[in-house]
Amino acid sequence: MEGYVHSSMRSNDVHCVMAPHTPRAVEDKPRRALIRAVIFCMIMMCVEGICGFIANSLAVLSDAVHMLADVFALSISLFAVYASSWSATTITTYGWGRVEVVGALCSILTTWGLAGWIVFGAIKRTIMILLCAGNKNRKNCDEIDAELIFVVGVFGLLMNVVLAIILRFGGVHGHSHGLLHSGADVHEHLHSLDALHDHSHEMSQDIESVVIETECGIGNSSHFQLVTSHSEFVNPPLGDGHSYHCGSGSMNLRAAMLHVFGDCIQALGVVVAASIIWFGNLKTQGSARSANSYYNLADPFFSFLFGLITIYTTRDLFKEVVSVLLEEVPASVSYDGVRDALLGVENVERIDDLHMWSVGPNFHLLSAHLTVAGCSTICEAKELVEEAARRCKRLGLAHATIQLNHVSRIENGTTT
């Protein structure tokens, strides 16, 4: 089913022709990169899980569990790339832009849950190590294989670097945060407008608008109702300073890159912890392995530390996800700036019901009621809306729906 945009009206009003548009194709390069990353993460997870169990290392096991979250996040990102190409329907009228928002939220919550599990496990392990180090005769004290932990830590660090390279150069890099890249071209789809009395009006090249005149004829209009302007962005360009583009899977890819960043830190912590345990036990116990050494505290300490760091690194993305779900004004858009820009349009006297929100990351929308004066024909209304839409577009709003109320109707106290 092809996606479309339309405007509703009574049968005796101006008729608008639906303009179908072909949904963008699934981007093969990011898809292939994500598939490779998922497979790579699964292999790493299995290797680290087995080695962590053999070495009795919480640090290695926690890193393996963290890799499970990476697999989950990357799988959601892969799904988002597919879903972003699906057409809008009569149910999902905005398309599937929220898929990556919900997916990113699931990824973040999973990461926090795993990090909490790591922190809790580190606290338990710390208590056990303190008891064992303080009582040499205590039973059920497990040795930590520092040599194996060190090897696995180096392996994990190198593999995470490779994973970052796969994502970085696999077609999903870029973005204002430096974590991903979206798209190339901007395509805009225009509506057709059949004018009253068989007159046709040529549409603007860069802005589409639909003007519906109600209640009276051209030249004697007191109320223009429902003027809409729409620009559809597909695989937008970078570097324009605005965040009005809608990249496929961008938020999930950021979440995935944060996972990889967290894994790199975790792997580095494993290497440092193993080095401390290894050389500390050699110096004090004469062996790299010891069940009664205070140096073993390095294992849970770094697990605890980097568990907290993992939570900290996802806080900004979590705020962004919540902002989209609460339909707050996008952080990249200034409410006052948009309001002042619209008030600066000629003949605009007042703005009511100004709303701005995001369907997904970098896909921002606006709706507003503009009270106008000196705008008496459908052509003048069309020009006013096109100018308002151009200003919205420059300020990072991909889609604007504007209703015009004539000032004379406001003064009569009969405005709707």
Could you read off the pLDDT of 11-65 as tens digits, one per residue? 333 333 333 343 444 456 667 777 888 888 888 788 878 887 887 777 677 667 7
Measured distance CA(165)–CA(398) in Å, rounded? 32
Residues 196, 334 within the same domain: yes
pLDDT band at residue 322 using 50, 70 and 90 as cut-offs: very high
Give the dihedral sign, CA 253/255/257/263.
negative
Classified as helix, coil or strand, 358 is strand
Which tens digit of pLDDT belongs to each residue from 343-377? 999 889 899 999 999 988 778 999 999 998 877 67
pLDDT of residue 381: 85
Residues 102, 55 within the same domain: yes
Q: Mark 16-54 as b/e (b = at least 16 C-beta within 10 Å).
A: beebebebbeebeebbebbbebbebbbebbebbbebbee
Question: Is 294 a domain residue?
Answer: yes
Q: From the CA atom positions of the chain, what is the Rg in Å?
A: 29
Residues 254, 366 within the same domain: no
Strand extents, DSSP E, 30-156: none
Q: Calculate the average pLDDT of the chain.
A: 71
Among candidate residues 290, 310, 325, the one where a domain is terminated: 325
Among candidate residues 307, 325, 343, the one where a domain is terminated: 325
Question: Is 38 a domain residue?
Answer: yes
pLDDT of residue 330: 92
Average pLDDT value for residue range 116-125 = 87
pLDDT at residue 323 greater than cutoff 80: yes
Cα 96 to Cα 23, 91, 244, 279, 381, distances in angstroms = 11, 11, 16, 54, 32
Among candidate residues 290, 305, 325, the one where a domain is terminated: 325
pLDDT at residue 390 greater than cutoff 80: yes
Average pLDDT value for residue range 232-253 = 42
Question: Is 193 a domain residue?
Answer: yes
Name the helix (H) or strand (E) containing 399.
strand 399-406
Domain that residue 338 falls in: 189-230+328-411
- What's the DSSP call for residue 224? B
Question: Is 1 a domain residue?
Answer: no
| Structure tokens that stand for 47 in this block | 């290797």
Residues 55, 159 within the same domain: yes
Residues 335, 298 within the same domain: no
pLDDT of residue 29: 67
Residues 38, 157 within the same domain: yes
| Spatial contact of 23 and 85, defined as CB atoms under 8 Å apart | yes
Residues 267, 137 within the same domain: yes
pLDDT at residue 402 greater than cutoff 50: yes
Tell which residue, 94, 119, 122, 135, has the closest CA to residue 363.
94
Which tens digit of pLDDT belongs to each residue from 185-241? 323 332 333 332 333 333 333 333 333 333 333 333 334 444 444 444 333 333 333
Which tens digit of pLDDT belongs to each residue from 271-293? 888 899 988 888 887 777 777 88
Residues 170, 51 within the same domain: yes
Cα 143 to Cα 281, 291, 293, 299, 312, distances in angstroms = 11, 4, 9, 12, 31
Q: For position 140, which CATH number holds? A: 1.20.1510.10
For residue 372, what are the β-bridge partners?
348, 406
Residues 46, 138 within the same domain: yes
Give the dihedral sign, CA 353/359/364/365.
negative
Classified as helix, coil or strand, 380 is helix
Question: Is 390 a domain residue?
Answer: yes
For residue 194, what are the β-bridge partners?
15, 200
Measured distance CA(204)–CA(201) in Å, rounded? 10
Domain count within the chain: 2
Residues 353, 305 within the same domain: no
pLDDT at residue 397 greater than cutoff 80: yes
Question: Is 110 a domain residue?
Answer: yes
Question: Is 238 a domain residue?
Answer: no
Q: For position 216, which CATH number holds? A: 3.30.70.1350
67 compared with 349, residue with greater pLDDT: 349
pLDDT band at residue 98 using 50, 70 and 90 as cut-offs: confident
Give percent of the chain with pLDDT exceeding 70.
67
pLDDT of residue 253: 66
Residue with tokens 């080095």: 275
Show Cβ contacts of residue 332 under 8 Å, excluding neighbours closer than 6 positions.
242, 243, 244, 362, 364, 396
DSSP per-residue letters across 158-215: HHHHHHHHHHHTTT---STTSS----S-------EEEPGGG-B-PPPSS-EEE--B-S
Identity at 345, one-letter amino acid code? V
Measured distance CA(202)–CA(117) in Å, rounded? 62
Average pLDDT value for residue range 104-117 = 83
Measured distance CA(304)–CA(309) in Å, rounded? 9
Question: Is 12 a domain residue?
Answer: no
Measured distance CA(377)–CA(28) in Å, rounded? 48
pLDDT at residue 7 greater than cutoff 70: no
149 compared with 357, residue with greater pLDDT: 357
Residues 58, 138 within the same domain: yes
**pTM greater than 0.85 (yes/no):** no
Residues 94, 206 within the same domain: no
